[in-house]
Structure 1
Amino acid sequence: MKKYIVTMSAVWLLVFFVGCQQEVVIEEKSAENETIQSEQASANARASGLTYRGMDLSFAYKIETQRGGKFYYANGTAGTVFDIAKSANVNLVRLRLWVNPDANHKECSLAAVKEQAKKVVAKGMQFMLTLHYSDTWADPGTQTKPAAWSSLTQQQLIDKIWSYTTDVMNQLKSQGTTPIIVQIGNEINAGFLWPTFKVSADSDTNWDNSFEYAINSGYNAVKAVFPNTKVMLHYAGIWADNFFWRCSKFGIQYDIMGFSWYPQWHGKSFTDVYNQLNNLTSWYSKTAIVVETAYPWTTGYVDQAGNVLGSGSLISGYPLTPAGQQAFLEQLMATVKSIPNNRGVGVVYWEPDWTAYNGSSATDWENGSSWENATLFDFSWKALQGFSAFN
């Protein structure tokens, strides 16, 4: 997912002050907690059976390793993000990899991914790798080729996907960090490595002998090194009928369907999530993971970078509070888990660690956080009750 910058309005700046806002938002009524937790008890029981209870923790490298940031358990004891996740029964950590990121995004470099993968495996968790095949964010609106690949022909790109993916897999293998899942591309609704492999779910153009060969090149490279690793195709949203129909039509190889589902952009119905994932996994005999999701616990903020998610995320019955965030996660997990024949296998929360790591002075998301209100940590970097959803 790519983070889009939201400009704060003058009213927003006048109404909220960081200090008082933190005090008001984090405080919650025990009655609300008890009500929501009671309503979600059965959901949580079902969610506990999910194969993959995951978090994308790619920012942890920048915040902890590069900046020396400190996170805390709910009781105030300091701990690393991976330790806190592990203690909450998280069993999968997703990491993103860019081909040649700039100096401000070294958390997406191969060196950082390898270092973090070793930490994940050492904690007894599994790790999932997302190959963006770009030097920057890849999403439905941006799939920019790596600068070093920009002049390659179609066949040269297909060969490069193979050689690059094979090299990455071999480096992971050499250090004993086998990824349990590898994504070929990120949110590839309209293909990747534009314009060469740009496609539309509503047209056959550029699928046959093009996008098909590109995806299969990555798939085969993963399997050549790690035969048992699952390969995922990732779609932003849940209305992916035409996309996966064409994947089937053109013989594209993959093992798992991955979906982004953010209520602010992709709909607010758990029933729709169930129906769509049930239909798609049934039609194509696949399993599915909601591989990106998030829900705000406040509409407040610390820095001035502008929050991406706000009141537009609100689902009736799930208030924008820590308790509401936990309830949202529990219900989503229960929804995915309830897909018949164990075809719903996981939920991954996107960047619960992307706190406002530069304090209140940051004015853009490149040096601050546009996600601070949707993390699973409060504004003091203390774990929120949303972590309990993974237990």
Structure 2
Amino acid sequence: MKKNVTRLFIALVCLLWTGCQQEIVVEEGNVKHDDNIAASANARASGLTYRGMDLSYAYKIETQRGGKFYYANGTAGTLFDIAKSSNVNLVRLRLWVNPDASHQECSLAAVKEQAKKIVAKGMQFMLTLHYSDTWADPGTQTKPAAWSSLTQQQLIDKIWSYTTDVMTQLKNQSTTPAIVQIGNEINQGFLWPTFKVSADSDTNWDNSFEYAINSGYNAVKAVFPNTKVMLHYAGIWADNFFWRCSKFGIQYDIMGFSWYPEWHGKSFSDAYNQLNNLTSWYSKTCIVVETAYPWTTGYADQASNVLGSGSLISGYPLTPAGQQAFLEQLMTTVKSIPGSRGIGVVYWEPDWTAYNGPSATNWENGSSWENATLFDFNWKALQGFSAFN
């Protein structure tokens, strides 16, 4: 009974707060953008706690394939060195439970190896637990094969034991994650169908998805009490999702959002207002934990590019300068959220170059992202790195 009264109170407070909110608008065109943009004199990343990149492909490209990346001046360097020199202070890595041989960059062994390199460079790292053997996103949340026959309670217990084991192995090598994601882009839950949910329905939340997320949260905190736990939503229109997280007592510290103009809207004002409202309503901080913007519509291999002209925002051309300007404006937008509730921006896979040569025809052995990386087709750093300085 006490639990139900608490939930009703939360619901009423959220409804009242919603009615009282005033829209705050971030000006879309406050900077003139063209192909000759120089690095901003007033660093847009200043004040952000986390200036990050997801560099999960680094293991495959550098360690497994021996790929070489270059600073803007043409000098060779490792991805982590190039990132560090550009003031990046957080590297995000993804972990799958039992990836196949072609995706060993997502294995625990690779994550542990990369985590040691990241910490040695003086950067922090963020771990994304997909709870799958493959990609997990809003449209795909497949259970690990070894977990497929487990009951609901057995899955909850497995989340605890698996997460505890991963955290313990990281602790044993002195690589404490700054942030851990319980699931990836969990708009509709994870480990389907057992913990599949809808943001528009209470079905499967109470004593199900609630228990699953809290099992992961508690496992992280049992090993690393000071590590922050994130819930990650694809898009910014997450009102109902986080309302239900609050209603059902789901535990987390940070709201994470994917924001790609190709799919999630092209208005910095909308992004600001949504993130401001959500973090205010639930007294949380937030990170735009995935974003990207193309610097060209060209390509370096035959694997079809995911992002193209559909990403274009007026005033931000699909050029290296436009890409830099987009990142700077996004950082400004997140940093502008009152109360220091906007704490970071993470660029997704700026390293996913066409690593398998120009004839690769499948994104599994090539790149469908090379036009949205922060490197040109010769693997030399673009001016977008300047946005992090």
TM > 0.5: yes
Match of 2:211 among 198, 210, 213: 213
- Matched-pair contact (CA < 8 Å) for 1:56–1:350: yes
Q: Which runs of 5+ in 2 are unaligned?
A: 1-32
- SS of 1:63's equivalent? helix
Which residue number in structure 2 is paired with residue 5 of structure 1? none
Which residue number in structure 1 is paired with residue 305 of structure 2? 307
Which residue number in structure 2 is paired with residue 51 of structure 1? 49
- SS of 2:52's equivalent? strand
- SS of 2:358's equivalent? helix
- Matched-pair contact (CA < 8 Å) for 2:35–2:319: no
Which amino acid letter does the alignment assign opposite residue 317 of structure 1?
G
Instruction: Render the CA deviation track for 1:131-185: whole Å, top value 9, x for unaligned.
Output: 0000000000000000000000000000000000000000000000000000000
Q: CA deviation at 1:41?
A: 4.5
Which residue number in structure 1 is paired with residue 360 of structure 2? 362
Match of 1:32 among 15, 31, 34: 34
Match of 1:269 among 263, 267, 270: 267
Match of 2:324 among 313, 323, 326: 326
Which residue number in structure 1 is paired with residue 21 of structure 2? none
Aligned 1:70-109 pairs, distance under 5 A? 70-109=68-107
Q: CA deviation at 1:33?
A: 4.2
Which residue number in structure 1 is paired with residue 109 of structure 2? 111
Distance 1:255 1:33 in 2: 40
Which amino acid letter does the alignment assign opposite residue 321 of structure 2?
A
Which amino acid letter does the alignment assign opposite residue 161 of structure 1?
I
Which residue number in structure 2 is paired with residue 256 of structure 1? 254
Distance 2:300 2:331 in 1: 29
Distance 2:83 2:300 in 1: 23
Match of 1:120 among 118, 121, 128: 118
Instruction: Render the CA deviation track for 1:258-299: whole Å, top value 9, x for unaligned.
Output: 000000000000000100000000000000000000000000
> Structure 1 residues 53 and 113 mapped into 2: Cα distance closer, same or farther (>3 Å)?
same
Distance 2:369 2:347 in 1: 12
Distance 1:204 1:290 in 2: 26
Q: CA deviation at 1:364?
A: 0.2
Distance 2:34 2:246 in 1: 46
- SS of 1:182's equivalent? strand
Match of 1:286 among 284, 287, 291: 284
- Matched-pair contact (CA < 8 Å) for 2:105–2:111: yes
Q: CA deviation at 1:49?
A: 1.1
Which amino acid letter does the alignment assign opposite residue 32 of structure 1?
D
Q: Which runs of 5+ in 1 are unaligned?
A: 1-30
- In the superposition, the TM-score normalised over structure 1's length comes to 0.90
Which amino acid letter does the alignment assign opposite residue 292 of structure 1?
E
Which residue number in structure 2 is paired with residue 174 of structure 1? 172
Distance 1:111 1:172 in 2: 10
Distance 1:115 1:282 in 2: 38
Q: Does 1:155 align with 2:153?
A: yes
Which residue number in structure 1 is paired with residue 191 of structure 2? 193
Which residue number in structure 1 is paired with residue 138 of structure 2? 140
Distance 1:96 1:346 in 2: 18
Identity of aligned residues (%): 90
Which residue number in structure 1 is paired with residue 6 of structure 2? none
Which amino acid letter does the alignment assign opposite residue 236 of structure 2?
I
Instruction: Render the CA deviation track for 1:300-355: whole Å, top value 9, x for unaligned.
Output: 00100100000000000000000000000000000000000000000000000000
Q: CA deviation at 1:32?
A: 3.5
- Matched-pair contact (CA < 8 Å) for 1:37–1:327: no
Which amino acid letter does the alignment assign opposite residue 203 of structure 1?
S
Moved over 2 A (4+): 31-34
Distance 2:258 2:41 in 1: 25
Which residue number in structure 2 is paired with residue 246 of structure 1? 244
Distance 1:41 1:366 in 2: 40
Distance 1:80 1:150 in 2: 39
> Structure 1 residues 37 and 270 mapped into 2: Cα distance closer, same or farther (>3 Å)?
farther
Instruction: Render the CA deviation track for 1:44-88: whole Å, top value 9, x for unaligned.
Output: 34x311000000000000000000000000000000000000000
Distance 2:35 2:299 in 1: 22
Q: Does 1:343 align with 2:341?
A: yes
- In the superposition, the TM-score normalised over structure 2's length comes to 0.91
- SS of 1:172's equivalent? helix
Q: CA deviation at 1:112?
A: 0.1
